Amino acid sequence: MSQDDRVNIALLSCGSEYAGIQAELESAAEMVNARLVYPEIDVAILDTIEMDFGLQITSPDLKLMMARTKAVAEGTARVDGVFVASCFRCAEAAIVRNEVRRYIHKYSDVPVISYSFTERTTAGTLLTRMEALTTIVRRKHLLAREHQTGLTAGIDSGSTTTKAVIMRDDKIIGCGWVPTIRVIDSAEKAFEQALQESGVKRDEIQAFGTTGYGRFLIGDHFKAKLVQEEITVNSKGAVYLANKQKGSATVIDIGGMDNKAISVEDGIPGMFTMGGICAGASGRFLEMAAKRLGVDITELGDLAIKGMQKKVEMNSYCIVFGIQSLVNSLAKGSTPEDVAAAACHSVVEQIFEQQLQEVDVKEPVILVGGSSLIEGVPKALGELLKIDILVPLNSQFIGAVGAALLASGYVGE
Amino acid sequence: MAKVFIYPTNSLILSDLVERFGHKPLAMMGKVREKITTVGIDSPPLNITPEDPKLGLKYAAVEVPAGVRGRMSLVGPLIDEAEAAIIVGDAEISFGCMGCARTNELTKYLARKKNIPIIELVYPKSEEEGREFVYSIAEFLKSLPMEEGSA
C-alpha cells in the first residue's frame, strides 16, 4: 500500500493514552496503513457542547470527545473514519460513546466503530476492527460486488473451525469444514474436501480469498488475491446468501470466539460492533454446554427446541459463570432440554445486551455462523427481537462464501 | 519547605503560587516530564504502558477502568508524598483539568483522607473573589513550615 492509500482515522477517546494502549492503537492503525488523527476544536466549544448534545456529563475528556465529534460531523475536521474508544466498565463513557456514534451516523456518512478497552487490549484485537473500518473507506467498489463470477475459492480460518468453499458463477460447487487445529493444515484439509466435492483441480482456481483469524497465514500459503477481515466478508456473504443485497439488513454472526453485529445498507457494511471481551456470547459457550449435557454440538439445537428456557436462570457474560449456572440447574433437577434452551437464550441475550444496542437493528435480521445451525439459537433470537430471523442456506460457510465472492473481483486481473 | 499537592493536578497557576512561597509543588507536569524523558519506554504520547494501570491497583481495584488506574499511577504517588494539599473545586478547564471525573473524585478523596493540612476553595467567579482566593492560598502556604521534612 502506498502513502496515497493512507486513510485518516479520528481517534475519539477519553484517555486511551492513560490506559497504556496508545501504542497498540497506533500499531493497529499502522498495520492497515491508517493514521490516527485528533480533530482540532475551538476551546470555547467545550462550554456549549453539552447543550449541543443535550447530554450533561462530568468528565472534561468526554466533553472534548463530544466537541471532536461535532468537528467530524460538521466536516471541519476532514477524516475518513472514526474510532471511538473508552474504558471498559466506565458507565459515563459508555453513554457518551454510544451517543457519539449515533451523532456521527445522524449528521454525516463517516463510518464509525466503537470499542471499550482494558489495559490488556492488544493491536491484534484492534486490527480486525481497524481493518474493517479502513476497508469501508478504501474499497467501496469491491464491496459493491453482487455476483460471483469465474471459479474462485474462499477459505475462512476461524478460531474453532476452518471452512472452505469453491464457487463457479454464483453457485457453490464444493465445500469443506474441519476443526481448526494447525492453521495451514486445517485450511488444506477443508480445501481438499471442497476440491473433491466440486471435482475441480487446484490449479484451475482463478482466485483465492481468505478470512478469519488465520487469514494472513493462509492468505500467504494459498497466494490469495483477497485477504480480508471477517466483518466485511461475512456481511457480504450474508446478504449474498440471503439474497438481500438491496436495502437495509442486519447481520448477526455468532462465531466460536466472538460475535459481530453489522448493519448493512445495499450490501455495504455501515455500523458494526464486535464483541470479544467476555465469552458468554460465543459459540464456544454452546460447545461447552453441549459437552456438559453429554450431547454433540449438532444435537444441542434439537434438544433446545424441546425445552423451556424460562425454567432455568442463565444469563452470564462469562463462560465459566455460565457453565456454573448450567451445572447448578442440572443439580437442582432441571431437564437437559430446558438447560439447552436456556444456554441458547443466554448467548442470544448477551448479543442483544452487548452488541445490538450499538447498531440500528433493521429487518431482515440474518443470522449466520456455525451457531445459526443450532436451532435453539435463531428461535431464541426471534423470540427476543419479536421478528422472524433469516438463516440462509449454507450460513455456516458465510465467511468462505463471502471471500470467494469478493475474490472473484480479482478474476482476470 | 513543604511538599504541596495541588488539585487540579496540572494547574500552572497553583504550581507557580506554591513555588513563590518557597514550597515544592507536587504536580502532574513533573510526573509527565519524568515519563516522557525516561529512556527505553515507547508508548507515545505519554509513555504510559500497560504496566502503569497495574501500578494504579495500589489506589483503585481491578474493576476500576484502566484509564482511571493509569492516571492514578501518576497521581497516587504524588498524594503519597504530599505534606499539604490545595484543592480547587469547579475550576475552569483553562485553570487545570484532569479529564476523567472518576479519577478526580478518587484523587480528592485520597488527599482528604491523608492527615495533612488542606485548604479547599471554589474557583473564583469575580475579581474580588479572585483576590480573596489568592490571599487565602497565600496565607495557607505561609502557615506551612519552611524547614525541609518538618511538615
Among the partner residues B45, B49, B102, nearest to A20 by beta-carbon distance: B49
The residue of chain A with its CA nearest to that of B75 is A18
| In contact, A123 and A27? CB cutoff 8 Å | yes
pLDDT (0 to 100) of residue A273: 79
Q: How confident is the model at residue B117 (pLDDT cuts 50, 70, 90)?
A: very high
Q: For residue A320, give every residue at least 6 positions away whose Cβ sits within 8 Å of its Cβ, in sequence order, or none.
A: none
CA separation for the pair A275, A273 (Å, rounded): 7
A192 Cβ neighbours under 8 A, 6+ residues apart: A176
**Segment B70-90, tens digit of pLDDT:** 999 999 999 999 999 999 999
Pairwise CB contact (< 8 Å): A17 & B64: no
Domains and CATH numbers, chain A: 3-138 (3.40.50.11900), 143-231+398-410 (3.30.420.40)
Question: In 3D, which of B54, B51, B58, B48 has the Cα closest to residue B79?
Answer: B58
* φ/ψ of residue A308, rounded to 5: -120, 110
C-beta atoms of B67 and A26 within 8 A: no
pLDDT at B41 over 80: no
Question: Of all residues in chain B, what percent carry a pLDDT higher than 90?
Answer: 75
CA angle B8, A52, B95 (to 5 degrees): 15
Interchain pair B66, A58: CB under 8 A: no
**Beta strands, E only, A14-147:** 34-37, 81-87, 112-117
**Cβ within 8 Å, pair B100-A15:** yes
In tens, the pLDDT along B58-74 reads 999 999 999 999 999 99
Distance from CA of B39 to the nearest CA of A (A): 16
B97 touches chain A (CB under 8 A): yes
Contacts of B150 (CB under 8 A, 6+ apart): none
pLDDT band with cut points at 50, 70 and 90 for residue B43: low
Give the distance from residue A90's alpha carbon to the nearest chain B alpha carbon, in angstroms. Answer: 6
Give contacts of B49 with chain A, Cβ < 8 Å: 20, 23
CB contact under 8 A, B46 and A59: no
Give the position of cell 499539604. B84
Which DSSP string do the residues of A103-172 spell out, in sequence order? HHHHH----EEEEEE-TT--HHHHHHHHHHHHHHHH-HHHHT-----SEEEEEEE-SSEEEEEEEETTEE
Question: Which chain B residues touch A21 with a CB distance below 8 Å?
Answer: 50, 66
Q: Which helix (H) or strand (E) holds A305?
A: helix A297-306
Chain A residues with a Cβ under 8 Å from any Cβ in chain B = 14-23, 26, 43, 46, 57-61, 64, 86-90, 92-93, 117-120
Measured between beta carbons, the chain A residues lying within 8 angstroms of B99 are: 14-15, 18, 59-61, 64
**In which band, very low, low, confident or very high, does the pLDDT at B56 lie, cut at 50, 70 and 90?**
very high
- Domains, chain B, with CATH or none: 3-143 (3.40.50)
pLDDT at A1: 47
Q: Do B67 and A90 touch (CB under 8 A)?
A: yes
Q: What is the pLDDT along chain A (413 residues), one digit of tens a residue?
A: 455 679 999 999 998 999 999 999 999 999 999 999 999 999 899 999 999 999 999 999 999 999 999 999 999 988 999 999 999 889 999 899 989 988 998 899 898 888 888 888 889 888 888 988 998 888 777 788 899 999 999 999 988 889 999 999 999 999 999 999 999 999 999 999 999 999 999 999 999 999 998 999 999 999 999 999 888 899 899 999 999 988 889 999 887 777 888 888 888 887 777 776 666 677 888 888 888 888 888 888 888 888 887 777 776 667 777 788 888 888 888 888 888 888 888 888 888 877 777 677 889 999 998 888 888 888 888 988 899 999 999 999 999 999 999 999 888 76
- Taking the CA atoms of B5, B7, B9 and B10 in sequence, report the sign of the dihedral they define: negative
pTM over 0.95: no
The dihedral through the CA atoms of A338, A342, A344, A345 has a sign that is positive
Contact B52 A16 (CB under 8 A): no
Q: Which residues of B touch A65 (CB under 8 A)?
A: none
Q: Give the three cell numbers for residue A85.
A: 474508544
Residues on chain B touching A23 (C-beta within 8 angstroms): 42-44, 49
Residue A142: predicted pLDDT: 79
What strand order describes the sheet that includes B84-89? B24-26, B3-7, B84-89, B118-122
User: CB distance A18–B65 less than 8 Å?
Assistant: no
pLDDT one-digit tens code per residue, B91-105:
988 888 878 999 999
Cβ contacts (< 8 Å) between B48 and chain A: which residues? Answer: 17-20, 22
Q: Do A89 and A317 contact (CB within 8 A), yes or no?
A: no
What's A358's DSSP letter? S
Tell me, what amino acid is at A118? T
Q: Helix A183-198 vs helix A215-222: angle between axes, to the nearest 10 degrees?
A: 60
Instruction: Say yes or no for a CB contact (<8 Å) between B102 and A59.
Output: yes
Across the interface, of A18, A90, A117, the residue whose CB is closest to B71 is: A18
For the record, the C-alpha cell of A312 comes out as 432455568
Cell numbers for B89, please give them: 473545586
**CB contact (8 A) between residue B44 and residue A57:** no
